[in-house]
Chains A and B, each alone.
Chain A
Amino acid sequence: MLFFRFLGRSFLSFFSYLGSLLFLALEAGYSVIRMPVRWKLTLRQVVEVGYRTQMVVMVTGAFTGAVFGAQTFFQFHKLGMDTAVGAVVAVSMFRELGPVLTGLMVAGRVGAAMSAEIGTMKVTEQLDALRALGVHPVDYLVVPRIIAVMISMPLLVAECVGMGIVAGKVVAVDLLGVKQAYFMDYMLKFTGARDIKMALTKGACFGLLIVLIACNQGLRAREGAVGVGQATTQSVVIGSLAILISNFFLTLILNIFYPAGV
């Protein structure tokens, strides 16, 4: 009996959380369409979310591409398929690793900062002050962040993928001796616009998820420093899980529109 009660409560709280996310998304959608966008704040967020996250994302992409290139070479070398390394690295970076790793990095760096900032504003009554001054918190805090993330994420994904492929090439061609002509030829043969579209679409979806989860956690933060800490931690945990889980479904759906292969 106790188990079923626990199960029921968990389901209820899960759906209640999804409801709060949906409500925030609808409110933000209404704001984007009906209310004036604060472009100055949006630009500031683009700098924070996009510009200042580049280094983390590029380093992550580069080393993942390098390791992936090396591991692929070690396995494929046994089968005499060294030349396929470029294609494998590029397709993997575009379709899976680039968007997912960028999403995880942005959730960790940007999502946490957003939750902490909005959560602190909540517990210090700054959100109430905003409302008391006749300003909707979603218009002022959430919408500029959503627009900034939607602009920045595809660019960050592109940087991550680009660095991954370049690093993969350096390791495979320059360090491990794969012939550059074959590496490039196979890479270009097996990689196309469909892969780029998939990467950018995934990046935009993950960006939306990250910013909604982060802002929602901040807006729901309970009183005190502990509440802000919990909101920040949950933002990163929920954001990361949401990216990994939604990636599976996005892969299945997007593969219908942008099928892999030649």
Chain B
Amino acid sequence: MISVKALTKQIGAQKILQGIDLDIRQGETMVVLGRSGGGKSVLLKHLIGLMIPSSGEVWIEGRQIVGLSERALLPIRKRVGMMFQSGALFDSMTVEENVAFPLREAGIRDGAEIRQRVDKALEVVELTGHETKKPENISGGMKKRVALARVIINEPACVLYDEPTAGLDPVVSDSIDHLIRRLQKRMGMTSIVVTHDMKSANFIADRVAYLHEGRIYFLGTPKELMASGDPLISDFVRGRSHETI
């Protein structure tokens, strides 16, 4: 589905990605783990062409996207959705208008059809009844769920999630985890999830990639990750900093 070859990204003197090779299979959920500032979100933005790499290749469904113009990328992005860490909802629109946005942009003009699909998407993310609210009047967790509804309404082949559970309470986090899993099972969606949340990673991941200093340090199943004796991974998985009081 998505393939990354020797991807590097340097901003100024800082080398953020230093040769990433990664293959994401059709229908799987790949979780990208790593410490803050490790380049996870930067990697995610490269997968959809929102950032231009310093070198390397990104292939989506057999098409190299590096070097394509912004306009050539637009149809590809309709096949690969992205949920941003902040939600990135359009603040001039209501919840309903945000979720309906991809449908209207796809040229659907039938109001009844739009309403029906928006209702369904909001039902999936358990936000029925909040249609007329503006983004500034809903909580962070609700914003993320609206963003998710906006991404899935057009049923893309793949969804990229940037920290979908960061800053949410455990119950909402769990509901988002279940939602990601459900979308994979019911609709066969490929998912790439960037997170720090080990509980979430264990629940949703088919495979896990651990990013360290701009490289893939570990690639395997969640079970293999948990069983790893590598001190770096072991510390991350168990949340140990080795600091003393």
Interface residues of A, Cβ cutoff 8 Å to B: 121, 124-126, 128-136
Complex interface: chain A residues within 8 A of B84 (CB): 125, 128-129, 132
Q: Is B91 an interface residue (CB 8 A)?
A: yes
Q: Tell me the complex Cα distance, A128–B70, Å.
A: 12
Which residues of A lie under 8 Å from residue B86 when comparing CB positions? 124-125
Q: Which of B143-158 contact A (CB under 8 A)?
A: 147, 150
Partner of B91, one of A126, A128, A133, A135: A126
Interface centre among B71, B77, B78, B101, by most A CB within 10 Å?
B71
Closest residue of A by beta carbon distance from B45: A128
The residue from A121, A133, A136 contacting B101, defined by CB atoms under 8 A apart: A133
Contacts of B102 in A (CB 8 A): 133-134
Q: List 7 A-B contacts (CB under 8 A).
A: A121-B90, A124-B91, A125-B84, A125-B86, A129-B89, A131-B73, A132-B84
| Chain A residues with CB under 8 A of B147 | 129
| Contact (Cβ within 8 A) B74 A132 | no
Q: Is B48 an interface residue (CB 8 A)?
A: yes
Residue on A with the closest CB to B82?
A132
By a CB distance below 8 angstroms, the chain A residues around B81 are: 132-133
A sample of 7 more A-B contacts (CB under 8 A), given A125-B85, A133-B102, A136-B71, is A124-B88, A128-B84, A132-B77, A132-B82, A133-B78, A134-B75, A135-B74
For B75, B88, B89, B147, the residue with the greatest tally of chain A CB atoms inside 10 Å of its CB is: B88
Closest-by-CB residue of B relative to A128 is B50
How far is it, in angstroms, between the C-alpha of A135 and the C-alpha of B75 when the chains are bound?
9
Least CB separation from B81: chain A residue: A132
- B243 is an interface residue with CB less than 8 A from chain A: no
* Residues in A whose Cβ lies below 8 Å from that of B230: none
In the complex, which residues 55-97 of chain B have their Cβ closer than 8 Å to any Cβ of chain A? Answer: 70-71, 73-75, 77-78, 81-82, 84-86, 88-91
A130–B102 Cα distance when bound, in Å, is: 9
Q: How large is the interface on B (under 10, 10 to 19, 20 to 34, 35 or more residues)?
A: 20 to 34
Residue of B nearest to A35 (CB): B71
Tell me the minimal C-beta distance from B25 to chain A in angstroms.
22
Determine the distance from Cα of A133 to Cα of B77 in the docked complex, in whole angstroms: 6
Report how far A136 CA is from B71 CA in the complex, Å: 7
Distance in angstroms between the alpha carbons of A19 and B234 in the assembled complex: 51
Q: With a CB–CB cut-off of 8 A, which chain B residues contact A126?
A: 88-91
Task: Please give me the 4 A-B residue pairs with the lowest Cβ-Cβ distance, nearest first.
Answer: A129-B88, A125-B88, A134-B78, A132-B82
Q: Is the Cβ of A133 less than 8 Å from the Cβ of B70?
A: no
Residues of chain A within 8 A of B91, CB atoms compared: 124, 126
**B169: interface (CB < 8 Å):** no
A229–B155 Cα gap in the complex (Å)?
Answer: 38
Contact (A128, B88) CB under 8 Å given A134-B105, A135-B105, A136-B71? yes
Complex formed: what's the CA distance from A124 to B147 in Å? 14
- In the assembled complex, the CB of A8 is this many whole angstroms from the nearest CB of chain B, namely 21
In the assembled complex, the Cα of A125 lies from the Cα of B147 at a distance in Å of 12
**Is the pair A131, B105 in contact by a Cβ cutoff of 8 Å?**
no
Task: Write out the residue numbers on chain B whose beta carbons fall within 8 Å of the beta carbon of A131.
Answer: 50, 70, 73, 77
Shortest Cβ distance from B82 into chain A, in angstroms? 4
Closest-CB distance, B106 to chain A (whole angstroms): 8
- Please name the residue on chain A nearest to B160 by beta carbon: A132
Q: Evaluate contact between A136 and B90: CB separation under 8 angstroms.
A: no
Instruction: Report chain A residues within 8 Å CB of B48.
Output: 132
Residues of B within 8 A of A133 (CB): 77-78, 81, 101-102, 105, 150
Q: Is the CB of A136 within 8 A of B82?
A: no
Q: Which residue of B lies closest to A125 (CB)?
A: B88
On chain B, the residues within 8 Å of A124 by CB distance are 86, 88, 91
A30 to chain B: closest residue by CB: B71
CB contacts (< 8 Å) of B71 on chain A: these are 136
Residues of B within 8 A of A132 (CB): 48, 50, 77, 81-82, 84
